[in-house]
Structure 1
Amino acid sequence: MDSEAAYQFSLILTEYLSKLKHRPRHLVAFVNPHSGKGVSKYRRLFFTCSSLNNLILGKGSSVYEKKVLPLFEEANINVKTIYTKYANHARDYISEQSLDDYDGLVSVGGDGMFSELCHGLLLKTAKQAKLDMNDPNVNLMRPNLRIGVIPAGSTDAIVFGTTGYNDPITSALQIIVGESVLIDIATVHNEHGFVRLMATMFSYGFFGNIIQQSDNWRLFGPLRYDLAGFCQFLLNSSYHTELIITQPPEKCNSKILINNIDRYLFGNSVKRQDPLCKQDGEKSPDNQTINDVQSPLSRQIKREGQYRTINCLNMPCRCEKSKYGMSPSVHIGDGSFDVVLVKSSWRLDFFRFLHHVAKDGRTIDDLSNVERYRATEVIIRPTINRRNRLGNWACDGELITANEVRIRAHSQVLNLFASGIRLDQIKKINEEVSK
Structure 2
Amino acid sequence: MATALEVSLEGTDFLEISQSDGTVSHKTAAKLEDILEVEKTKCNIELTKEILTIHGTKKLCRSIPVASILSAVCRDKSNTTSQLTVQYIHKTGKSNLKISSICLKGDTSVCNAWETKLQEYIKLVPHRPQRLLIIVNPESGKRKGLKIYKSQVEPIFKLARIETEVVVTERAGHAEEMMSSRDLSGIDGLVLVGGDGIFHEVANGALRKIQKDSGIDIDNTYSSMKPLMIPVGMIPAGTGNGIAKEFFGCKDPEVAALAIVLGQSKPQSTFSVHANGKLLRYSIILLGYGFGADLAYEAEERRHLGTARYAYALTKLLVGNKQRCMDMEIEYLPEESPLVNKSESKDRLKEDWKKLEGRFSGIGTFCIWNNLNISDPRILHNKDKGAIVAVTKYTSRIQFINFLYRVVKGQVIELIDPDFSYLKLLAVHSFRVRLKSPSDPETKEGLLERLLNVDGEIHHLGATEFEARCRPGLVQLYHCIPSDDKKGAS
Per-residue deviation at 1:313?
Answer: 1.3
Count residues in correspondence.
354
Contact 2:141 2:306 in 1 (8 A): no
- Letter paired with 1:243: I
Contact 2:138 2:146 in 1 (8 A): yes
Contact 2:140 2:194 in 1 (8 A): yes
The equivalent of 1:154 in structure 2 is 239
Per-residue deviation at 1:175?
Answer: 2.0
Structure 1 gaps of 5+ residues are 38-57, 252-288, 319-328, 425-435
Per-residue deviation at 1:145?
Answer: 2.5
Structure 1 residues 117, 355: closer, same or farther in 2, change over 3 A?
A: closer
- Letter paired with 1:236: Q
Per-residue deviation at 1:290?
Answer: 6.7
Q: Percent identity?
A: 27
Any idea what SS the aligned residue of 1:400 has? strand
Contact 1:157 1:316 in 2 (8 A): no
Structure 1 residues 404, 97: closer, same or farther in 2, change over 3 A?
A: same
The equivalent of 2:188 in structure 1 is 103
Aligned partners of 2:249, 2:83: CA distance in 1, in Å?
30
The equivalent of 2:31 in structure 1 is none
1:172 aligns with 2:257: yes
The equivalent of 1:62 in structure 2 is 147
Larger deviation, residues 112-121 vs 148-157: 148-157
Any idea what SS the aligned residue of 1:97 has? coil
| Cα displacement string for residues 171-194 of structure 1 (whole angstroms, at most 9, x for unaligned residues) | 222322321212221100012311
- Letter paired with 1:9: V
Any idea what SS the aligned residue of 1:219 has? helix
Aligned partners of 1:250, 1:421: CA distance in 2, in Å?
34
Judging by fraction of residues, say which structure has more helix. Answer: 1
Mark the structure with the bigger radius of gyration.
2
Aligned partners of 2:192, 2:83: CA distance in 1, in Å?
31
Higher RCO (CA-CA < 8 Å; seq separation 6+)? 1
Aligned partners of 1:250, 1:68: CA distance in 2, in Å?
44
TM-score of the superposed pair, with normalisation by structure 1: 0.73
1:236 aligns with 2:313: no
Which of 410, 431, 435 aligns to 2:471? It is: 410
1:188 aligns with 2:285: no
Judging by fraction of residues, say which structure has more strand. Answer: 2
Structure 1 residues 174, 220: closer, same or farther in 2, change over 3 A?
A: closer
- Letter paired with 2:467: R
Structure 1 residues 351, 77: closer, same or farther in 2, change over 3 A?
A: closer
1:20 aligns with 2:116: no
- Letter paired with 1:18: K
Equivalent positions of 1:19-418 (< 5 A) are 19-37=124-142, 58-233=143-318, 234=320, 235-249=322-336, 291=341, 299-316=352-369, 333-357=383-407, 360-365=411-416, 366=418, 367-386=420-439, 389=446, 390-391=448-449, 392-402=451-461, 403-418=464-479
Aligned partners of 1:315, 1:423: CA distance in 2, in Å?
26
- Letter paired with 1:155: G
Equivalent positions of 1:419-430 (< 5 A) are 419=480
Aligned partners of 2:382, 2:195: CA distance in 1, in Å?
19
- Letter paired with 1:138: S
Contact 2:132 2:191 in 1 (8 A): yes
Contact 1:315 1:331 in 2 (8 A): no
Per-residue deviation at 1:423?
Answer: 11
Contact 2:390 2:424 in 1 (8 A): yes
- Letter paired with 2:232: I
Contact 1:183 1:332 in 2 (8 A): no
Aligned partners of 1:248, 1:334: CA distance in 2, in Å?
9
Larger deviation, residues 88-97 vs 10-19: 10-19
Per-residue deviation at 1:155?
Answer: 2.1
| Cα displacement string for residues 220-250 of structure 1 (whole angstroms, at most 9, x for unaligned residues) | 2222222221222222311111101111128
Aligned partners of 1:375, 1:421: CA distance in 2, in Å?
29
Aligned partners of 1:83, 1:163: CA distance in 2, in Å?
23
Any idea what SS the aligned residue of 2:288 has? strand
Per-residue deviation at 1:394?
Answer: 0.6
Aligned partners of 2:169, 2:472: CA distance in 1, in Å?
30
Aligned partners of 2:204, 2:212: CA distance in 1, in Å?
12
| Cα displacement string for residues 136-171 of structure 1 (whole angstroms, at most 9, x for unaligned residues) | 112110233222222222222222333433332232
Per-residue deviation at 1:291?
Answer: 4.5
Structure 1 residues 356, 99: closer, same or farther in 2, change over 3 A?
A: closer
Any idea what SS the aligned residue of 1:150 has? strand
- Letter paired with 1:199: I
Aligned partners of 2:83, 2:385: CA distance in 1, in Å?
46
TM-score of the superposed pair, with normalisation by structure 2: 0.65
